[in-house]
Structure 1
Amino acid sequence: MRILIIGGSVFVGRAITEEALRRGHEVTTFNRGRSGVDLPGVEAVRGDREVPADLDRLAEGREWDAVVDVMGRVPRVVGESVRRLSGRAGVYTYISSISALADFPVKGCDESSPRYECAPDAGPEDGDYGALKAGCERAVEEGFEGEALIVQPGLILGPYENVGRLPWWLDRISRGGRVLAPGDPERAMQVIDVRDLAAFVLDRTEVGKADRFLASGVPGNVTYGGWLAECRAVTGSDAEFVWADDRFLLDREVRPWTEFPIWAPDNPDFAGVWLASSAKARAAGLSCRPVAETVRDTWAWLRDVPPAERSFRGHGIDPEKEARILAEWA
């Protein structure tokens, strides 16, 4: 297949590009060339999707079997790409997010769950991340003259992660000592490896039919304690986990999800965060590797990144705050 990937050099886009090349597809990537390095073997087209002339230059004289849009976050911007690429590809695959579902993370959800209300021509000022992703989905579904495939991933981990969640935990645990750990170590989670997501996206893109899939991995495929234990094992650390309960941490203004990455306290605001159903995607071929493999391979990548160059995008608790809370818990 001839595939255009909008993005293609960072985390999810990189994994999809790598898998497409492995399968022997002809891959064109379209990005600004600022965030990552293009993989060998692609036709790299430089440009900004927010600049109409750049989109026109991309489309001129080219056709593809499929477009995979990894980077779209603003409906109005996605709509411009859709309009210029309609008629130049058979299927438009849009990588959305579980956050586009209005019930998430308060309730369990699946493909039938309602999406946020957001117009397909909305601008960046017209909603938060989840609402805008829902508007982007509509921009593809309503504007593309062909098959519209929507994939809504849940929590994505794996090598080359640029969000900083698993990398922060690996970095912190590798330094050893007493490590403050949040909440209940037996709380079940649900994560998906970026490479498994990439394989599923390409499987469905190759089918070339309009559809919608929630892809959040296997429910309960790891516990929070098991996940951190895997981090300790692969780093060879002497870390000693000190588990503090949710209420204690919240009373000390520890921010869920960010100061302790992927920590979702046991309260109504996060009641459904690990209850999404990927049954439809799994029935359609989604296969998920053990989380231990994801942790191992992420550390193998991260250990080659000098500590001073590791970026966690605002994730992780300040060391002084962690030490203070450890002392109070003791």
Structure 2
Amino acid sequence: MKVLFIGGTGNISTASSKLAIKKGIDLYHFNRGVNSAKISGVKTIFGDIKNPKDLEELKKHTWDVVVNWIAFLPEDIENDIQLFKGKTKQYIFISSASCYQTPLSYPIITESTPLKNNLWEYSNNKIKCEELLLQAYRKVDFPITIVRPSHTYDIVIPIAIGGFNEYTTVDRILKGKEIIIHGDGTSLWTVTHADDFAKGFVGLLGLTQAVGHTFHITSDEVLTWNMIYKILADSLGCEAKIVHIASSFIGKIEPSFKSGLLGDKSESVIFDNTKIKTFVPAFKATIPFSEGIKRTLKWFDENPDKKIINPKTNAQIDKILAAYKKLFY
């Protein structure tokens, strides 16, 4: 099976690339070669998907599957439809579980949960991308499959403030500084290790029955945000100095945090993974956060240059804490 990953060396996609190679898939990457990740067995075509001059090599190929890991805007999808129409048997778009109805009217999320998120531009753009693909599937049989990850981690810290591509909040915990948990920390959340996500995702590659369908792929482990931060701190051998602050207050003091909290992480979410388990019976998430986060922290220790401690984020956290204490202490 000949598969193209546009991207393929990121936080989520690296694990899927490795598993695809392990399963004997003839895997190509199309990217700029910026990421230093080297995956044995992958054939790389260097280029920028947004640069028409770089697409000539791609046009020479036909594919069993094309996966775009880095499409975020409707124009990205419009370009892909034109580029891969008649050139692939399956096109997989990596959307986002943040597209689901926000706020939720029913707490358990299935693939039939409505898509509506007017609080986060990122999610709204992903919804528009999905709509374009569904239209192309209905009108011209463009062979789509849509996958919606939710807060999937491997080489990022999956927390709400001062994490993901930063090490800022981890550094604060290690130094005994106060950190912020949005709300009272009791809302429910799911974090999924990329190795677990890959089990379900790679099972969809070339699966004829999956064409026209949408899937989310997440762990079945449900944690409160308090537990997520406690497990993180325990894995660091520290006790976190936690201050709980309402998401709306955080967003008022620092508007840059507003969309990610009110448009996503302040919701309680419980994912029903019945559909992916039905289509890919071998899928089962087996890495609890208590194990996965240790792997992530070990990776950071082995790659100290990736421990990005952002002075701006630190200043924002301190600003929110000062405003909160001034008002409520």
Return the TM-score normalized by structure 1: 0.78
8 Å contact 1:20–1:202 — kept in the other structure? Answer: yes
**Partner secondary structure for residue 44 of structure 2:** strand
CA distance, structure 1, for counterparts of residue 303 and residue 145 of structure 2: 35
8 Å contact 1:173–1:231 — kept in the other structure? Answer: no
**Residue equivalent to 1:93:** 92
**Residue equivalent to 2:288:** 290
Are positions 1:274 and 2:269 aligned together? yes
CA distance, structure 1, for counterparts of residue 29 and residue 84 of structure 2: 14
Deviation of 1:212 (Å): 0.8
Among the aligned pairs, what percent are the same residue? Answer: 21
CA distance, structure 2, for counterparts of residue 137 and residue 251 of structure 1: 31
**Residue equivalent to 1:151:** 147
CA distance, structure 2, for counterparts of residue 95 and residue 313 of structure 1: 31
CA distance, structure 2, for counterparts of residue 91 and residue 308 of structure 1: 35
Deviations 1:293-312 (A, max 9, x none): 22111111112232685267
**Residue equivalent to 1:81:** 80
8 Å contact 1:66–1:89 — kept in the other structure? Answer: yes
Higher mean C-alpha deviation, range 173-182 or range 221-230 = 173-182
What is the letter of the counterpart of residue 284 of structure 2? S
CA distance, structure 2, for counterparts of residue 111 and residue 70 of structure 1: 20
> Counterparts in 2 of 1:225-264, with a 5 A limit?
225-237=226-238, 239-246=239-246, 250=249, 253-255=252-254, 258=257, 264=261
Query: What value does the CA root-mean-square deviation take over the aligned residues?
Result: 3.6
User: Whose helix proportion is higher, 1 or 2?
Assistant: 2
Deviations 1:8-59 (A, max 9, x none): 1221222221221222211100112234544232111111212233223212
Deviation of 1:150 (Å): 0.7
With over 3 angstroms needed to count, the CA separation of the structure-2 counterparts of 1:231 and 1:254, relative to structure 1, is farther
8 Å contact 2:168–2:313 — kept in the other structure? Answer: yes
CA distance, structure 2, for counterparts of residue 90 and residue 214 of structure 1: 21
What is the letter of the counterpart of residue 63 of structure 2? W
8 Å contact 2:16–2:195 — kept in the other structure? Answer: yes
> Counterparts in 2 of 1:50-89, with a 5 A limit?
50-60=50-60, 62-89=61-88
> Counterparts in 2 of 1:1-330, with a 5 A limit?
1-60=1-60, 62-101=61-100, 103-107=101-105, 108=107, 109-115=109-115, 128-143=121-136, 145=141, 147-160=143-156, 165-166=163-164, 167-208=167-208, 209-210=210-211, 211-218=213-220, 221-237=222-238, 239-246=239-246, 250=249, 253-255=252-254, 258=257, 264=261, 272-284=267-279, 285=281, 286-288=283-285, 289-306=287-304, 309-310=307-308, 318=316, 320-321=318-319, 324=322
Higher mean C-alpha deviation, range 133-142 or range 296-305 = 133-142
Deviations 1:98-152 (A, max 9, x none): 2333x134444432233359xxxxxxxxx93222212322333444655311111
CA distance, structure 1, for counterparts of residue 301 and residue 291 of structure 2: 15
**Partner secondary structure for residue 39 of structure 1:** coil
CA distance, structure 2, for counterparts of residue 269 and residue 67 of structure 1: 28
8 Å contact 1:165–1:312 — kept in the other structure? Answer: no
8 Å contact 2:185–2:244 — kept in the other structure? Answer: no
8 Å contact 1:215–1:281 — kept in the other structure? Answer: yes
Give 5+ residue unaligned stretches, structure 1.
Answer: 118-126
CA distance, structure 2, for counterparts of residue 135 and residue 283 of structure 1: 27
CA distance, structure 2, for counterparts of residue 182 and residue 141 of structure 1: 35
Deviations 1:230-252 (A, max 9, x none): 11222122x343343538x8279
8 Å contact 2:6–2:66 — kept in the other structure? Answer: yes
CA distance, structure 1, for counterparts of residue 271 and residue 314 of structure 2: 25
**Partner secondary structure for residue 39 of structure 2:** coil
CA distance, structure 1, for counterparts of residue 154 and residue 290 of structure 2: 11
